Structure 1
């Protein structure tokens, strides 16, 4: 998000302000549509990282059954128990959630890119 904010042309805000736009209107109609692709990319990266986080959660939250378990830990436990079908089922649900998130993010980014300033 920071590089997008740094590259944002101040003339866009000045033009919106000279046309009588309030600060809230300028933010919602000018700045936010330009930030949307960067925000979605950051959201996708943080979601992907959270899916893969394993060690830190075990050390911080502990490994309390039915309380602080995460999907990566559940898959690991099922593999240790030689329950490959359950591990594959959990991984499939996780994969479906990740693909759904990716598809929604791409769709939102394609909609947001229609409103970007080119040139």
Structure 2
């Protein structure tokens, strides 16, 4: 399972992993170092995590599931550093949360449909 404990909190400087953990898995660790296949990396970030946390409507693409999707290029790379931890990654073009676009063509839409999830 892939995850991060880097949660940004108001008034504090976030750890770079809050912005860079998942892009680092897809970029340097998967693409460059060959630690995972693309399919295995995505599975560890989606369905394995959803199952582990009991999120029955998340983690898979199929009818009846919540559409949380990320469209990324094979160039995805994290840019977060300790000096500038809130740097967004490169190579992520579109993001949908609960079926609503939150990033379109690399730019934020301003939508914030996310919510706290509880075990089903």
The interval holding the TM-score normalised by the smaller chain is under 0.3
- What is the TM-score when the length of structure 2 is the normalising length? 0.24
Structure number with the higher helix fraction is: 1
Kindly indicate whether structure 1 or structure 2 has the higher relative contact order, using CA contacts under 8 Å at least 6 residues apart: 1
